Amino acid sequence: MITTKIKIQNILPDKDFTCFVIPALFSKSECEQLLDTEIKNSFQKAISNYPTYYRNNDRFVVDSDVLATQLFDKVKPYLPEIIEINSTIQSENGVWHLKELNNRIRFCKYSAHQYFHRHLDGIHYRDNTTQSKLTFMIYLNNASEFKGGRTLFYKTKETEEIWASYVPKQGDLIVFDHNVWHEGEVLTQGEKFVLRSDILYSKKETESRKEPFDGHLGYIWSLLKIDDNTILSGGRDKEIKAWTISGEEKRSLKGHDNSILCLEKISDAIFISGSRDQQLIVWKDYKILNKIKIHSAIVLSICRIDANTFASSSGDNTIKISTLDGTVLKTFKEHTNWVWKVIKLEDTIIASGSEDGSIKIWDCQTEISINTFDTNYPVISLAYNNEKRQLISGNLNGEISIRTLTADYQQQKIHTFKAHAAIIRTIKLIDNSYIITGGEDNKVKIWSLDGQLISELEHQNFVQSIEILDSKTILSASYDGTIKTWTIG
């Protein structure tokens, strides 16, 4: 029962979503104590873990059970004791009971021209029965100290209309559902400080029928067909899982300290994984052969060159050509922002797509690009049709560009079309005849090579990875925590 006289302020007109502010829950002195000199001197750029199209603010992360308990005790009287969810995703379905505050506390600093663009907050999974449902955020200083910096809410990812907004006031606590689209508006002047965490709920373990590919906790980032009977997947839960083609879990591999973002097959026995922990792991017969630390930021993509050599791209803006023991043979440094994707075109020729809005062609024997294609938007995904010499790219604006290349990798012609309502995260080819794309509009789409839409499939969240099983069957992995099997044609 609430015993304090503080009255909560509901933000959204739609009462189906939890979204409210507790005004002045924390005093000026409490805010100053939270944001002490040590914290103020500890902020770091978020770019090593987050792309600039998404956010460019500074942050500092601390894990503290003591602080989490103190903060939770203060807000607990205002929180819903029970949250009921009726979802098709089994791990989210059920009656959830208020538990505690996530002990991972994130302090965020916004200066002029910094922002956190529209997004959903990710669920923090403690285990199968404990996960976060609500965002917890304290405004540590007043809006009088900066310009801009409102917290904005939207009904959908695509709409331009602001659903609701809140002007920060020191000591206010805002609590809202993870499923509400929101952003930290760009600052034009001054500095803004917030403290953010997650409110955890738990439910009773229940017996339920296990669905195919059911096992990851949270986002699934990557898929890899390792042989005709085995699929690998990598997730935010730091695990690589091996599945049968029908979705029965065979084994789970642990070695990374953060999300596993990319997987690449080197041989029948060897594959490589890349992670947000800035490491690459070489696996042989499902055991760690070698841990490699050659990048200074998140590892985004891996591409096999030959049986002992691979390329990797990173949030440190580089591409490295390395051997399986971690010896770096070449470093490509021409990109000026994250290198989202690197793929092999032929022999020692590779292509890369970057947040800087360019695609570059490289010869692995040199450290200077052969050619550069400048685009209007960050290039997130790439694929290559060897038969027709078509380089296919997907960008931040949901567009596909199909470039036909000459023998010396010049652009002969280009066809660009709008394919998704949001970022294209992944592109695959089936038999060099069909293009399969996955996007942040939650869609999997199948296209002819001339850009005609053949069919459309859907997840409940971003489609992050696609893998081809055969000419009629594909798998797609999503932020909704599922892997789905689709039959084509």
Q: Where are the domains of the chain?
A: 9-202, 220-487
Mean pLDDT value across residues 369-382: 96
**Residue from 488, 485, 474 nearest 214 by CA:** 485
Please report where in the chains the tokens 């055991």 appear, as a residue: 287
The pLDDT of residue 3 is 47
Q: Say which residues have a Cβ less than 8 Å from residue 72's Cβ, sequence separation at least 6.
A: 100, 101, 199
Distance of CA 136 to the CA centre of its chain: 20
**Distance in angstroms (rounded) separating the CA atoms of residues 466 and 220:** 11
Each residue's pLDDT tens digit, 155-197: 998 899 999 999 999 999 999 999 999 999 999 999 999 999 9
User: What's the Rg (C-alpha) of the chain?
Assistant: 23
Each residue's pLDDT tens digit, 210-266: 789 999 999 999 999 999 999 999 999 999 999 999 999 999 999 999 999 999 999
Q: Which CATH number fits domain 9-202: 3.90.700.10, 1.10.10.10, 3.30.70.20, 2.60.120.620?
A: 2.60.120.620
Q: What is the CATH number of domain 220-487?
A: 2.130.10.10
Paired with 174 in beta bridges are 21, 137
pTM of the model: 0.92
**Distance in angstroms (rounded) separating the CA atoms of residues 487 and 489:** 7
- What does the DSSP 8-state code read for residue 441? T
Residue 379 above 50 pLDDT?
A: yes
Residue 2 above 60 pLDDT?
A: no
Please, what is the average pLDDT of the chain?
A: 94
User: Model confidence at 207, in pLDDT bands (50, 70, 90)?
Assistant: low
Q: Are 156 and 119 in contact (CB under 8 A)?
A: no
**Residue from 392, 400, 447 nearest 423 by CA:** 400
- Three-state helix/strand/coil letters over 114-154: CCEEEECCCCCEEECCEEEEEEEEEECCCHHHEEECCEEEE
